[in-house]
Amino acid sequence: SDTNKDVNERLLSICEVLESNIPYYNWVGFYFRNGDKEELKLGPYVGAPTDHTIIPFGKGICGQVAVSNQNFVVPDVSAQDNYIACSITVKAEIVVPIFVNGENIGQIDIDSNTIDPFTEADERFLEFVCSQVSSIL
């Protein structure tokens, strides 16, 4: 199987391809469950550095997806009460979980500087990306 270094390089490449090709994908990153802890840890990402390298399950959009196992599309982050702001430029967010053998082991997280940019096509596309990621983990 792939080494962790290979996997992280490939995950970073995915972030770069998405951020550079889709104008409303402005921060693209992966969070993964941190061992056996009830928290997420930041993995490869492209975009502004974030202070939120560890996110407890249940906190913010990412932490909610860690427990819901569902996509979370946020058209307007200012309307969310359980939201962790990483950058004041962010207007919208989408988080799609990654499953390995049916277990939610992480997620792709995308921030947009555009309000309400994400459609069902983004969800279907990112589900496909996550299924491909699952196969290299």
Site residues, ligand SME (CB under 6 A): 27, 29, 50, 52, 55, 60-63, 83-84, 86, 93, 109, 111
CB of 117 to ligand SME, least distance (A): 15
CB of 1 to ligand SME, least distance (A): 28
For residues 6 and 66, which CB has a smaller minimum distance to ligand SME in the complex?
A: 66
The residue among 56, 55, 132, 66 whose CA lies nearest residue 95 is 66
Amino acid letter at 11?
A: L
CB of 46 to ligand SME, least distance (A): 11
For residues 2 and 70, which CB has a smaller minimum distance to ligand SME in the complex?
A: 70
Burial of 123 (0-12, 13-18, 19+ CB in 10 A): middle
CB of 127 to ligand SME, least distance (A): 19
Distance from chain centroid for Cα 28: 7
Cβ–Cβ < 8 Å for 44, 15: yes
For residues 11 and 86, which CB has a smaller minimum distance to ligand SME in the complex?
A: 86
For residues 79 and 135, which CB has a smaller minimum distance to ligand SME in the complex?
A: 79
CB of 8 to ligand SME, least distance (A): 17
Cβ–Cβ < 8 Å for 72, 64: yes
- Write out the DSSP string of 114-130: SSS---HHHHHHHHHHH
The residue among 52, 110, 59, 106 whose CA lies nearest residue 83 is 59
For residues 64 and 133, which CB has a smaller minimum distance to ligand SME in the complex?
A: 64
